[in-house]
Structure 1
Amino acid sequence: MQTSNTRLGVGLMIATTFVFAVQDGLSRHLASEYNVLMIVMIRYWFFAAFVIAIAKAKAGSIRAAAATTQPVLQAFRGLLLAAEICIMVAAFVVLGLIESHAVFACYPLLVAALSGPVLGEGVGWRRWLAIGVGFVGVLVILQPGFGVFAPAAMLPFAAACMFALYGLLTRYVARADTTATSFFWTGISGAAAMTCVGLWGWEPMTAPDWGWMAALCVTGVTGHWLLIRCYEVAEASAVQPFAYLQLPFAAVIGLFVFGEVLETHVAVGAGIVVAAGVFTLLRNRRVQNAS
């Protein structure tokens, strides 16, 4: 049932970002020891089971949840998200949580920039200015032209582009399909794709790491459940700016668990990106309320 409780929604969004940050830390640990595709595949198996349960609860049956007039687009969304997760987990291993999340934080700006050509939505000059400022922040983080530019730094940016496109396509298919249908296709198509590629990278896992794998699956399901509840009790535009809290949560885990270093240029650039992103979200909310 849809209600309107912004305070509860904000609390749920904060909890969601914390759980997802823990999930990212677990992914970083496991992917540094085992094949990335295998880790994401096992994670998707549990996610698919969760999706099926939600589909039955929301739509009444699996057949009802799967019913769509745009199966190719829905399947593509699922494949896109699965690929984005693989790339982002690989970035955690290569770059660490802090720098990966600092770059990935630009995805709301990409959504705003692409909403015109993809969805036909208008983007005013203020939001274009915020988008430009945000990408200056990304450049500050990446530091192209200063020393040797690491190609691996493009991994989280590629993941951000893919996630932005996934978000836009989700809004596009929502014109004809329910949330339960989109959620179902996201989990099932992603699980099918990851099984096809992940089994080839299967490696034996130690008992302690199976425990961490179980924790990863539980945090994934918990995070998505919290996110669903968040959007059920509050408007997305009201709680979305708090999604940026995943960056500081992930940074704390990176600093104190993995011994990462917070470089000055990364902190400054991330601050610019987050400020531009929050402005874009708030501006979009104001435009929606005025229309």
Structure 2
Amino acid sequence: MSEGSLRRGNLDALTDAARAQRLKGVGLLLLALACFCGLDSTAKILNGHMHVMQIVWARYVFHFLLMLPFVNPWNTPGLIRSRRPGLQIGRALLLILVTACNFFALIYLQLDETMSITFATPLMVAVLAGPMLGEWVGPKRLAAILVGFLGVLVVTRPGFGGLHPAALVAFLGCVAYALYLIATRVLAAHDPTTTTLFFSGLVGVVATSPVVPFFWTWPSAGDWLMLAAVGALGAVGHGLLIAAYRLAPAAILAPFIYAQLVGMIAMGYLVFGDVPGLWTLSGAGIVIGSGLYLITRERVARKVPAAAPAP
């Protein structure tokens, strides 16, 4: 066998290995999204007889307890030393706000409705990345963002007897989530992932524990199981998400995130008997289409030389 044939064989093997790794990443991402669908469904069930703050508290306490044996200051030296402690705390507080807004919106909205609004997050990130990170978008991507927000308006139909006003709370959570993602990107250049994860759980527990007694309703045995499930599904889901992004590039995984809407529609129908309306499906389609266009433009931009900015 010639040297050229050996090189081609090694390249093919590497290509097959990379392809298998990406498929594993996609599989782990889909499992993570299934966890998040289960988390929101469980929270919506608990919303029927328990205050939102109690569910938010359980989300962080059980998540933190499950994470602590694996990520703690004893087996990870320097874990709690952050170069940007203020930003770490601010990011964690943003995540609490996102969780509270999402759980509150689920009291009044269907799963697919809240998810359709949440899918505007990448659009918000693209808008805020300009003034906050200096990553300005060109006219074509700006047009896609505006079309995406039109899709959000189609879902919420403000002023036309559309969704419950809780849709505004869901949108506030979307904005907070965009700020959270931007803070995460900034912290990635300063602190390791383990430090960021630990701060998220610790701040969540510390911030919600003093408040929860004012809203406490003693859970039944079944409620305790569901509260633990909320934290466990969050912890496992985020763990799978991190593993997925280690195995596959973000550009490969990004389109599959929209599969979560299918999961939410299925869970909404199976658990709550909710059928998505035409306005929700139409608006979600517009938002998803805009998001996919932004992903495509991002891929094109990375192939263009740095001296030629992508639109």
Shorter-normalised TM-score: what interval? over 0.9
Give 1:272 shift. Answer: 0.4
Q: List gaps (5 residues or longer) in structure 1.
A: none
Secondary structure at the residue paired with 2:211?
helix
Find the counterpart in structure 2 of residue 25 from structure 1.
41
Find the counterpart in structure 2 of residue 47 from structure 1.
63
Find the counterpart in structure 1 of residue 190 from structure 2.
176
Q: Distance in 2 between matches of 1:167 and 1:285?
A: 19
Structure with greater Cα Rg: 2
Q: Distance in 2 between matches of 1:286 and 1:194?
A: 43
Taking the TM superposition and a 5 Å limit, the aligned residue runs for 1:157-236 are 157-236=171-250
Are positions 1:271 and 2:285 aligned together?
yes
Task: Answer yes or no: is the 8 Å Cα contact 2:58–2:228 preserved in 1.
Answer: no
Are positions 1:251 and 2:265 aligned together?
yes
| TM-score normalised by the chain length of structure 1 | 0.92
Give 1:121 shift. Answer: 1.1
Q: Distance in 1 between matches of 2:122 and 2:195?
A: 24
Paired-residue identity, %: 35
Secondary structure at the residue paired with 1:93?
helix
Are positions 1:115 and 2:129 aligned together?
yes
Find the counterpart in structure 1 of residue 114 from structure 2.
100
For 1:22, the aligned partner's letter is: G
Q: List gaps (5 residues or longer) in structure 2.
A: 1-16, 307-311
Distance 1:117 1:53, change over 3 A: farther
For 1:233, the aligned partner's letter is: L
Residues 19-71 of structure 1 show CA distances to partners (whole Å, capped at 9, x for unaligned) of 11011100110122101111111121121134434434xx8745512111211
Q: Distance in 2 between matches of 1:55 and 1:289?
A: 38
Q: Distance in 2 between matches of 1:251 and 1:148?
A: 19
Q: Distance in 1 between matches of 2:66 and 2:302?
A: 33
Find the counterpart in structure 2 of residue 155 from structure 1.
169
Find the counterpart in structure 1 of residue 256 from structure 2.
242
For 1:25, the aligned partner's letter is: S
Q: Distance in 1 between matches of 2:298 and 2:47?
A: 37
Task: Answer yes or no: is the 8 Å Cα contact 2:91–2:180 preserved in 1.
Answer: yes
Q: Distance in 2 between matches of 1:45 and 1:236?
A: 29
Q: Distance in 1 between matches of 2:201 and 2:223?
A: 24
Moved more, 228-237 or 263-272: 228-237
Residues 91-146 of structure 1 show CA distances to partners (whole Å, capped at 9, x for unaligned) of 11111212111111101110111111111113122211110110110111111232
Q: Distance in 2 between matches of 1:232 and 1:199?
A: 39
Q: Distance in 2 between matches of 1:187 and 1:257?
A: 29
Moved more, 181-190 or 85-94: 181-190
Q: Distance in 2 between matches of 1:30 and 1:76?
A: 28
Residues 190-229 of structure 1 show CA distances to partners (whole Å, capped at 9, x for unaligned) of 2211112223211111122222223223222221121121
Are positions 1:138 and 2:152 aligned together?
yes
Distance 1:53 1:227, change over 3 A: farther
Find the counterpart in structure 2 of residue 6 from structure 1.
22
Q: Distance in 2 between matches of 1:127 and 1:53?
A: 44
Give 1:288 shift. Answer: 3.0
For 1:52, the aligned partner's letter is: L
Q: Distance in 2 between matches of 1:240 and 1:200?
A: 40
| TM-score normalised by the chain length of structure 2 | 0.87
Secondary structure at the residue paired with 1:55?
coil
Are positions 1:127 and 2:141 aligned together?
yes
Give 1:280 shift. Answer: 1.2
